[in-house]
Amino acid sequence: MTTPLIKNGALVDDNWVLVNTTTGVDDIAILQDQDVIVPLSIWLTEQQLIRSRPAKTAVWLNSHETPEAIAESLGTLPLVALNFPEFKDGRPFSSARELRQRFAYQGEIRAIGDVLRDQLFFMQRCGFDAFALRDDQDVDNALRAFNDFRHVYQPAIDQPLPLFRRR
C-alpha cells in the first residue's frame, strides 16, 4: 500500500522512494534509477554514491535537524522532506518557514511521518506544498482541509500581509 500524497492541493502519484535509515546505503545502491529521499545522515556521509546516481536524490530532516545542515545544497535539491515524528512535535513547521523565508527555497517541501488532516492548512501556511498522509487518514477529507478557513489574520508564507493590511 502506498502512502497517499497530496501536492499543491491535489492527490498525485508519488514517484519518490523514502529510504529507510537502517538499510539506507543498500537501498540507494539498488534504486539507481529511482528518485530517492534519504535521511540527513546518509546525505552527509554518502556524497560520492549520491553524486554517481542517474536519478534524483532529496533529503529528509528529522524534527531535531535544522535546514542549516543542507543550506549549501539547497540549490541542487528538488525536494526537502520534513519528518513529523509525532503529532505534538511542531519543529518542522519552523523548518519549512525557515526554508522558504531565510533560504528562499523554491523546491518542494514535503511533510512526512505523523501527518494528519488537522495540520494540513497550517502546514501549507508555513511553506509545505506536499503532504504524505499517514495511512489511516481519509484522503478526500484531507483535501477539504485546505478550505477550512476562508480568512486568515496573521501573515505567513502563503499570505505575507496581515488581514488589516489587506482591507
| pLDDT by position in tens, the chain (length 167) | 467 899 999 999 999 999 876 666 777 777 888 999 999 999 999 888 888 889 999 999 999 999 999 999 999 999 999 999 998 899 999 999 999 999 999 999 999 999 999 999 999 999 999 999 998 999 999 999 988 888 777 878 887 777 778 77
Structure confidence at residue 32 (pLDDT)? 82
Bridge partner residues of 10 (DSSP): 7
**Domains, the chain:** 5-165 (3.20.20.70)
| Other C-beta atoms lying within 10 Å of the C-beta of residue 136 | 6
Structure confidence at residue 2 (pLDDT)? 65
Phi, psi angle pair for 109, to nearest 5°: -115, 115
| Other C-beta atoms lying within 10 Å of the C-beta of residue 157 | 17
**Residue type for position 69:** A
The beta strand positions in 91-139, using DSSP E, are: 108-113, 130-132
pTM: 0.89
Structure confidence at residue 152 (pLDDT)? 75
- Contact of 83 with 61, CB cutoff 8 Å: yes
